[in-house]
Amino acid sequence: MNSEVRHHLSEELLTAYAAGALPEAFALVVATHLSMCDECRAMAESLDGIGGTLIEGLDGAAMDAGALEAVMARLDDAPAAPIRVDRGVLPAPVRAYIGGDLDAVKWKPVGMGVKQAVLKTSDSASARLLYIPAGAAMPEHSHRGMELTLVLQGAFEDDSDRFGPGDVEIADDEVDHTPVADVGADCICLAATEGRLRFKSWIPRLAQPFIGI
Amino acid sequence: MVAGTEKTTDAPWVAEMRRIRDDRDRAAFAALFGHFAPRVKAFLVKSGAEPSVAEDCAQDVMVTVWRKAHLFDPSRASVATWVFTIARNRRIDLLRRDRRPEPEDLTWGPSHEPDQSEVVEMNQETERLGAAIASLPEKQRVLIEKAFYGDLSHREIADITGLPLGTIKSRIRLALDRLRHAMR
Ligand SMILES: [Zn+2]
Ligand SMILES: [Zn+2]
């Protein structure tokens, strides 16, 4: 957990996450931020509480005859398996998508030393890890629709502000930005975009069909 | 439409959850089923599922309640809230076939036995929240409900999730502000 987070998720995003209405890629960014931020975690839990209150207040719909017996037949008496909590460099939600920790990420270069790894989510939006070497700039790009960029390690700066570990930048299609990593450390981000990410310089654009973005 | 304003210190269904977890108590499970299965089914129908699909799903949700009983922590959520999260996640893989990424969990687990005072506090908070939702102006309450049933159009969802300000977004924000105020 990180108490130094300065850029949080919006209430709208947290509500949509609680309601289960976010595309998978955005839900991944939200879940990862919640793993790093107590403040948003508390808000998310109270939003779940609203969901619980709504379900409690519903008039039930009658279950089919024999439903209880059918469910009872599926219960087993085995004691519940203990939960393993593995710690890692990357937050658990991201590790679940990589199938391992930072050393298992299959990076692909996108130019200027920047690397990315696209994570497999449903197509409604796309998620990727970005690796920006210390002091380097993310190739200039724009996007259709919303983009969430969450810093996992290091920090970056763009026209709007500076973003450190746990910080999330919410950008829309108006934004045409060039994040630059701090000189101190390489920057690793988790980013989700609604539309395709479009790089402006010719090298990444040529490479786009091959790297699946 | 919202119950739960009566003053009790015993959080509802927590005792049954403990008996399910510790003794694999089927009678406690049957009682929980009688209360929650029809509500979960109604929730899924309101979310747009066919009644037969909602029935199957509600049954799956109750099986998950049994299997994951050891993950329930009464100091962090009411039983209704916990059941809601299971039903919501089931709805996501049912209607959208998306995975549901969950945040990292550090404290949940069989070794963590919460303090009784935390359980009581959570219960009081839940009751306050129920009363606060019940007292919301009709329009705000309906929107909150629609948002949680996943009953908003793509455009409306975009208004909630996206950056442009829309009436829906500001109404929901207003409702949330009121709720937060009531929780202080
Ligand atoms: Zn936050
Ligand atoms: Zn961008």
What domains does chain A contain, in order, with CATH numbers? 92-211 (2.60.120.10)
B22 in a structural domain: yes
Relative to beta strand A156-157, strand A197-199 is unpaired
Over residues B41-63, mean pLDDT: 93
Residue A128 burial by Cβ neighbours in a 10 Å radius (0-12, 13-18, 19+): buried
Are B82 and B155 within one domain? no
Q: What is the pLDDT of residues A52-107, one digit of tens each?
A: 999 999 999 999 999 999 999 999 877 666 666 667 889 999 999 999 999 999 99
* C-alpha to C-alpha distance for A82 and A78, rounded to whole angstroms: 12
Are B93 and B152 within one domain? no
Are B169 and B92 within one domain? no
B126 in a structural domain: no
% of chain A residues with pLDDT over 90 = 51
Distances in whole angstroms, Cα of residue B140 to Cα of each of A55, B30, B158, B175, B179: 17, 35, 18, 6, 11
Are B95 and B147 within one domain? no
* Interface probe, candidates B17, B26, B81, chain A, greatest A C-beta count within 10 A: B81
B174 in a structural domain: yes
B123 in a structural domain: no
B43 in a structural domain: yes
Domain containing residue B79: CATH number: 1.10.1740.10
CA distance A4 to chain B (A): 18
Phi/psi region, residue B121 (left: phi>0; alpha: psi -120 to 50; beta: rest), is: alpha
- Residue of A161, A119, A122, A156 whose CA lies nearest to A137: A156
Gyration radius of chain A's alpha carbons: 20
Q: What pLDDT, on the 0 to 100 scale, is given for residue A85?
A: 64
- Which residues are found with C-beta within 5 Å of the ion, ligand 1? A 8, 37, 39-40
Question: Which parts of B111-176 are beta strand (E)?
Answer: none
Residue A206 scores a pLDDT above 60: no
B120 in a structural domain: no
Are B144 and B90 within one domain? no
* C-alpha to C-alpha distance for B123 and B76, rounded to whole angstroms: 10
DSSP β-bridge partners for residue A192:
A127, A148
Are B20 and B94 within one domain? yes
**In the listed set B78, B99, B120, which residue is the last one of a domain according to the structure?**
B99
Q: Which domain range does residue B76 map to?
A: 12-99
Q: B101 vs A31: CB contact, 8 Å cut-off?
A: yes
Residue A200 scores a pLDDT above 70: no
User: Count of domains in chain B?
Assistant: 2
Are B22 and B74 within one domain? yes
B42 in a structural domain: yes
CA of B124 to the centre of ligand 1 (A): 25
Q: A21 vs B162: CB contact, 8 Å cut-off?
A: no
Q: What is the pLDDT of residues A95-138, one digit of tens each?
A: 999 999 999 999 999 888 899 999 999 887 889 999 999 999 88
Nearest ligand to the CA atom of A5: 1
CA of A212 to the centre of ligand 2 (A): 17
Q: What is the pLDDT of residues B94-134, one digit of tens each?
A: 776 778 888 887 544 445 677 888 888 888 888 888 888 88
Are B21 and B77 within one domain? yes
